[in-house]
Structure 1
Amino acid sequence: MAIKFGTDGWRGIIGDDFVFANVEIVTQSIADYMMEKDIAGRGVVLAHDTRFMTERFADLVASVFLANHIKVYRPQGPVPTPLAAFSVRELGSGGAVMLTASHNPYQYNGIKYIPEYGGPAFVKITSRIEELIDKNMERAGSKGIKKVDPSLSKDMVVEIDTRSSYVEHLHQIIDFDKIGQAGLKVVLDPMYGAGGELMALALQEAGVDFCCIHDHRDVLFGGGLPDPSEQNLGDLKVKMKEVGADIGVSLDGDGDRFGVIDSRGVYLKPNELIALFLYYLTAIKGFKKGKAVRTVATTHFIDAIAQGQGIQVEETPVGFKYICEKMLEDGVIIGGEESGGLSVQGHIPEKDGILADLLAIEVTAEFRQPLSWLLNKLYLKYGHFYNQRLDIEVSQERKRFLLKRLRTHAPKSCLGLPVVKITDLDGLKIELEGGHWFLIRPSGTEPLVRAYVEARDKGLLGRLKDYTLDIVLKY
């Protein structure tokens, strides 16, 4: 069975493809990559979330690194991905291995390699690791992967705790005093994941009156998904109403994605929050040096606000690694993607749900109003942006044919509106006169086409969805 890295690491079903033997092979391949790049001597951070048997898998990962004479820096207990990425920079390590399947169902686990720059691995890095995996598959079949018992190499395993340093770092970005002085009531839902303890520590630092739900470990995630999208946050809404909260915030299983509900019970989509945060950072906090970076699937609401604030916008393929690349190269005020990934200037180049949730609380403290109030103010100024994502099942053959057909026979008009721009940065994006657009992007791993549509008029959104669906299935 081939082991491939997706947009954010390798993931598999526990007991099926995510098994000890494969974890050994992937770990050895990461160790080989680190030795190739001469960064193995800096050691590796080894972290994990709250999933089933994840400590056992982490012990195995440690044993492979130790057999390669690579020092292991290990937090005690589950930690979120943003803290693992921060720890890489804080310690100057050669990278981190994070055992997580993020917001996937409880049956899954995964391995994410975070290189020495503290963000997602670029394609060239994961491609090289995949090549090494193929070689180590053969090696494992004949000789096996060498391991060393961590208990016999205690001098090479260093216990770390970077939580306080992470919160101290956040003071450079988040106004803790403003949050504390606002007297807000906050409800936190970490969804049984790894981010709850660190988020609670940050809220305590700010002096916030808060309470938590789903903040204990449950490897089944309460029977649901550790995904902070609206359909999974019903319990958060109930608790907010019960305590009269000003805002409710949530995190996914490894704390790198966010979900926010305001005091009116309104769930704000990541598309809306990223645009709102851009406005707040530029108009209120005075961030002016740099640009906004968004993926090709993310709302153009960001572009409208950026134009109003006199800053540029750059578009990337889907995946936070592409935003990370821009954050390392250029001055970026905010980088975000519609799936709930966000980071800002001065922070790690990795998506961070804890940062995003704190930023949402700070905006609420600034205006002393629900976030939907500010959002509506922005809509009055810049106009509305209605958007939706569609996951459409198609055959692999249809998937291969579709983009080829669209690239050679792209429509010149849609719904009576002329096409003004076609982009093939990632899939095919067709922009129409009036600021409407749709993106067709086949999945790299599943028999799916993901379609994203955005319209400036609510009535047009439904027609654009139908049109896009017809193209995917019939064009």
Structure 2
Amino acid sequence: MARKFFGTDGIRGLTNTAPMTPEVALKVGQAAGAHFVRGDHRHRVVIGKDTRLSGYMMESALVAGFTSVGMDVVLLGPMPTPAVAMLTRSMRADLGVMISASHNPFADNGIKLFGPDGYKLSDADELEIEGLLEGAPPLAQPELIGRAKRIDDARGRYVHFAKATFPEQLRLDGLKIVVDCAHGAAYHVAPDALWELGADVIPLGVTPNGININDACGSTHPQLLQQTVVASGADIGLALDGDADRLIVVDETGKVIDGDQLMALIALDQHRLGQLKGGAVVATVMSNLGLERKLDAEGLRLERTKVGDRYVLEAMRATGCNVGGEQSGHIILTDHSTTGDGLVAALQILAAMVGQGKPASELLDQFEPVPQLLKNVRFAGGAPLEADSVKACIAAAERELDGRGRLVIRKSGTEPLIRVMAEGDDEAQVHDVVERICAAVTRAAA
């Protein structure tokens, strides 16, 4: 059965345009609720959201859907995605929902679902829910309709959880930290957690108004963070995205550090302390070849998966690894979380800084990246990657890079984009290969 609603990270799209409409959200609540109503106990779903204007609308529709099939609803308000996963487990809920389009602009929104174990749903579960979306799930008898309740201490619970992942014997006293919360879901919890651990905190992106989420701020727009770190003489800058499940770091010189370097530092620090499991780091096909070479030099492996943090997590669970993630900054640390957690990842970076007594610029220069270029080609419809001209161009590029680099071409699971990535030791060759393929895709999509 082909996917109609779910992409690589739940359901996502432009608000008030299918599939991101209140009607679909109500049906998702009914379908997911019906799928997880098992046994005779009182069923419960936990719902969190980021700070988008449309979050109120989508939340109300989901509440109507879940309560109509007999599920009680616990509303968390604006909370990071990993907090929803954590609270789903700790509150013994049957299901968790995050309303967010992550790093996308405010006009988009999305629905992410978590099972009772706090993990994102499997492909099989999502396909079953899609099947129920096409029908009419059985509605609860009037006396069995669910109730909705908002809890007020969700932020405190998550801050306590995040702080518990930081080594008990360490503190952040003396560190000046700039944290950019992207006017998103972590606008309270991230500065609070850092301050409670002793840091001198300079907060950015903490005044959400419904439409400024990810707007020239956060992990996808680190320019303001860079400027603020340098101007304030801060020790480090941390940038989260709209739902705070990814992290990008800026060192004290203003240099942007991506997820590959963050994974390298966390993994090698844990390896040094005897805490790394599985003898490997799990990352996607997009991670830099330099990371793979660095791990190999340390006697460790890089296990690659297809793009999507859910696939990284699946491989981590299968191999027993406890460090994984994506170059984009989704860092998954399964000793602490069941999904990517930007704040928890940041705390591990800060623990390494304090524990080793080294500046961010030194610690976060773990390997020399291989020249890599990623470009996106937007298309209106059709299947440009199926065109013979595009296939021929890709085949020629693969022959050129054979033994000297890698090529990754894929269709985005969340946007109408073709992503073209190449890397290799010859930077000019990498640029030439990417430009040729992008031109071929553009012509085929015209």
Please give the TM-score of this superposition, normalised by the length of structure 1: 0.82
The residue number in structure 2 matching 1:20 is: 22
1:216 aligns with 2:195: no
Paired with 2:388 and 2:340, the residues of 1 have a C-alpha distance of: 31
Equivalent residue, structure 2, for 1:428 = none
Structure 2 unaligned regions, length at least 5: none
| Inter-partner Cα distance in structure 2 for 1:360 and 1:209 | 16
How far apart, in 2, do the equivalents of 1:371 and 1:88 lie?
Answer: 34
The CA deviation at 1:4 is 0.8
Task: Give the match for residue 126 of structure 2.
Answer: 126
1:271 match: secondary structure: helix
Separation in 1, partners of 2:58, 2:211? 17
**Within-5 A mapping of 1:9-408:** 9-17=10-18, 18-35=20-37, 38=39, 41-75=42-76, 77-136=77-136, 157=149, 159=151, 161-170=153-162, 173-175=165-167, 177-181=169-173, 183-221=174-212, 224=215, 227-229=218-220, 232-284=221-273, 286-376=275-365, 378-379=366-367, 383-393=368-378, 396-401=382-387, 405=391
CA contact (8 A) 2:26 2:63 kept: no
Change (3 A) 1:128 1:396: same
Q: For residues 114 and 223 of structure 1, do their structure 2 counterparts lie closer, same or farther at Cα, with a shift above 3 Å needed?
A: closer
Label 1:443 to 1:288 Cα distance change in 2 as closer, same or farther (>3 A): closer
Measured after TM superposition, the shift of residue 265 of structure 1 is 0.6
Please tell me whether the aligned partners of residues 185 and 210 of structure 1 are also in contact (alpha carbons under 8 angstroms). Answer: yes
Provide the rounded CA distance (Å) in 1 between the counterparts of 2:141 and 2:344. Answer: 37
* SS of equivalent residue, structure 1 residue 101: coil
Q: 1:96 to 1:158 in 2, by over 3 A?
A: same
Alignment deviations for residues 193-220 of structure 1 (CA, whole Å, 9 cap, x no partner)? 0112121232123111112122122211
What letter corresponds to residue 11 of structure 2 in structure 1?
W
Distance 1:226 1:64, change over 3 A: farther
Deviations 1:120-157 (A, max 9, x none): 22222212111111114xx8xxx9x889899x965x63
Q: Does the C-alpha gap of structure 1 residues 296 and 406 become closer, same or farther in structure 2, counting only changes over 3 Å? A: farther
Q: Matched residue of 1:178: which SS? A: coil
In 2, Cα distance between equivalents of 1:375 and 1:158:
41
Quick one: distance in 2 between partners of 1:89 and 1:339? 26
Q: 1: distance between equivalents of 2:310 and 2:142?
A: 32
User: Structure 2 CA distance, aligned partners of 1:99 and 1:313?
Assistant: 32
Flag the 1:322–1:403 CA change in 2: closer, same or farther, 3 A.
Answer: farther
Cα RMSD of the aligned pairs, angstroms, is: 3.3
With over 3 angstroms needed to count, the CA separation of the structure-2 counterparts of 1:149 and 1:26, relative to structure 1, is farther
Q: Do the aligned partners of residues 52 and 149 (structure 1) sit closer, same or farther apart at CA in structure 2, a change above 3 Å counting?
A: farther
Alpha-carbon distance in 2 for matches of 1:367, 1:118: 33
| Distance across 2 between alignment mates of 1:186 and 1:174 | 16
Percent of matched pairs sharing the same residue = 26
For 2:418 and 2:315, the matched residues in 1 are separated by 27
Query: What SS class does the counterpart of residue 322 from structure 2 fall into?
Result: strand
The answer for the alignment partner of 1:449 in structure 2 is 418
Residue in 2 aligned with 1:440?
409
Query: Structure 1, residues 149-190: CA drift from partner, whole Å, max 9, x if none?
Result: 99x965x63626344444444455433643424x11011110
Contact 2:14 2:109 in 1 (8 A): yes
Rounded to whole Å, the distance in 2 between the matches of 1:247 and 1:452 is 29
Residue 111 of structure 2 aligns to a residue whose secondary structure is: strand
Question: Which stretch has the larger CA shift, 213-222 or 87-96?
Answer: 213-222
* CA 1:288–1:331: 2 relative to 1, 3 Å: closer
Structure 1 unpaired stretches of 5+: 420-432
Q: Distance in 1 between matches of 2:267 and 2:347?
A: 14
1:64 Cα deviation after fit: 2.5
The equivalent of 1:426 in structure 2 is none
Cα distance in 2 between the residues matched to 1:437 and 1:3: 31
Amino acid at match of 1:189: D
Larger displacement relative to structure 2 (451-460 or 90-99): 451-460
1:95–1:327 CA distance, 2 compared to 1 (3 A): farther
Size of the aligned set, in residue pairs, is 440
Q: Tell me if structure 2 keeps the 8 A contact 1:236–1:248.
A: yes
CA offset digits 1:345-403 (Å, max 9, x no partner): 31222111111222232333344444332344x33xxx542222111245624322359
Preserved contact between residue 291 and residue 331 of structure 1 (Cα < 8 Å): no
SS at structure 1 position matched to 2:6: coil
**Structure 2 length normalisation: TM-score?**
0.87
Distance of 1:366 and 1:403 partners within structure 2: 54
CA distance in 1, matches of 2:398, 2:4: 42
* Separation (CA, whole Å) in 2 of partners of 1:129 and 1:201: 37
